[in-house]
Every structure is written in structure tokens, then in C-alpha cells.
Amino acid sequence: MKSIFNFFFVAALLAPALGSHAQFVQDKAIRSGEPDDGRIQLMQIEVFDNSTRQGVPANILIKGLNPRITTELKNITDTTLEIKNYRLYTVSCVKPGYMYFAHKFWPDESKVHVEPVPLIPLAVGAKCDILDITFLGDETEIYHKSTPALNELLQWLDVNPNVKICIIGHVNGPDKKIGDNYYMKASEKRAEAVMDYLVDHGVAAERISARGAGNKEMIFPDPQTDWQTDANRRVEIEVTGL
């Protein structure tokens, strides 16, 4: 499964735009200092089984179309939306029989951004990142803006009631002076915080375990930007039983 930094594209024919006219917040323009020129792009979403490459109808959640709410597209395999190119988007999917999927991205600098949603059939050992779960600075307390992502994970566990998972915490730790033990304990506490949230919201404790990976699996070993630092602070799940 691709991470938020790995892209691949699926050849596709353009479908008519659906005309999504939600209000946009230009996060990208604010971060870059560039003015919003109001350019409209199309985003084509394609949902398919990653093993068969066949289309799979599924409910798709999109963060970024509207700054206040998550947009849900029900039972789609292929659709095209109007978007603006200055917005950061997250596309996610919860479907029975498949791994949770989420991808966070800036749209490509092209007229049509093709966004594949490759759904991976459930299997022991399958892994994926749970995006948008963040913590307060270097602490282990979950930031309140993580609630939508945590609720999607709850939904995924609900529609796949036999799944057991291990929650894996990762930290940003390029400073070798602090020591591996500190990073390991921090990542363990963050994984346990997510586990506690799920149990507190009704998931049976025997379905969940937690462990820390410390700073041993950073996506960016030498982060140069806040974006890369945030990407290293991630939460991952692994299927341990079905």
C-alpha cells in the first residue's frame, strides 16, 4: 500500500465533472505565501481491488472539499470532482473485507489529478498508516483534531468485527544524543494512547495490542521541513488476526 508520499497513477478516461461547489480554504496558498488564483482542477477518484485490479464500489471520505466537514461519496467506483489546487486533501475508505485506506496529498500540477484508491484484501500481516492522528508537541496526549481519523478507525473495526490489530507508534527522532530508549518509550506511549481511545469507545481490549517502533522506521531519517517531521510522527496498524 502506498504511503502519503508515494504516488502511482492508473490510466483512465475522463468522466464528466460532478460540480462540487463547496467553499475552499487555501491552506497551500497560506503556507506558500502565494495568492489564490482561483484555478479549478478536476480530481478523478478510482476505487479498485488491489489484487484483481477490478473496480470495487465503496464509500469514500474526502477531507478538504469543505473546511468544516468531511464529504462522503457513497457506493462509487469512479467519479470526478471539481477541486481547487491550493487545498490539502485526504481521501480515505472504510469497507468490509479490506484494509483501511487513507492518502493525504496536494493535487498534482495538472488539469486532472487522478487519485487511485487501491483496496487491499484483509490478511494477517497487512499494514497501513492511519493518517491525521497527531499528538500535542512531543507529548503522548492525542490532539483533538485527530478525532475524525480515530472515528474512521473505529468504523473500520466495527465493519470488520473479527479483525485483531497491533497499533504501532512512530516518532520523529533524528537527534542521536537523546538516545533510542527515549524514542522507544515515547512511541510505545503514543500507540497505547490510541489503543486506550479505541477501548474507551467500545472496542474489545482483546482485539488490540500496541507496540512502539521508536525512531527506527522514520520515512525521512533527516527531516528538513515541518511536513517531513510530521510524517515521521505516524501511527500504523498491522492485522494480527482474522
**How far does Cα 178 stand from its chain's mean position?**
29
Q: What is the predicted pLDDT for the residue at 38?
A: 54
204 belongs to a structural domain: yes
Q: What CATH number is associated with residue 134? A: 3.30.1330.60
Q: Which domain holds residue 215?
A: 127-241
| CA separation, residue 21 to residues 16, 18, 38, 101 (Å) | 15, 9, 13, 25
Average pLDDT over residues 29-40: 48
Give the number of other Cβ atoms within 10 Å of residue 171's Cβ.
25
Do both 97 and 172 map to the same domain?
no
Amino acid at position 49, single letter: D
Average pLDDT over residues 99-105: 92
Q: Minimum mean pLDDT among 13-22, 58-67, 97-106: which range?
A: 13-22
Q: What is the predicted pLDDT for the residue at 78?
A: 95
Do both 139 and 71 map to the same domain?
no
Do both 80 and 135 map to the same domain?
no
Residue indicated by cell numbers 500496541: 210
User: Is 112 in contact with 78 (CB distance < 8 Å)?
Assistant: no
**Domain count of the fold of the chain:** 2
223 belongs to a structural domain: yes
Do both 113 and 49 map to the same domain?
yes
22 belongs to a structural domain: no
Amino acid at position 141, single letter: E
Out of 119, 143, 170, pick the residue that ends a domain.
119
Do both 135 and 115 map to the same domain?
no
179 belongs to a structural domain: yes
Average pLDDT over residues 217-231: 78
pLDDT in tens, 73-94: 999 999 999 988 788 889 999 9
**How far does Cα 177 stand from its chain's mean position?**
31
What is the DSSP pairing of strand 208-212 with strand 164-169? parallel
9 belongs to a structural domain: no
6 belongs to a structural domain: no
Res. 98: pLDDT tops 70: yes
Of 210, 220, 215, nearest to 190 by C-alpha is 210
Of 112, 114, 77, nearest to 93 by C-alpha is 77
| Cβ contacts of 144 within 8 Å, gap of 6 or more | none
Res. 25: pLDDT tops 70: no
Find the length of the chain. 242
Alpha helices in the chain (DSSP H): 27-32, 147-159, 180-200, 226-232
Residue indicated by cell numbers 497527531: 134
Do both 112 and 75 map to the same domain?
yes
With cut-offs at 50, 70 and 90, classify the pLDDT of residue 141.
confident
Average pLDDT over residues 159-167: 97
Do both 225 and 157 map to the same domain?
yes
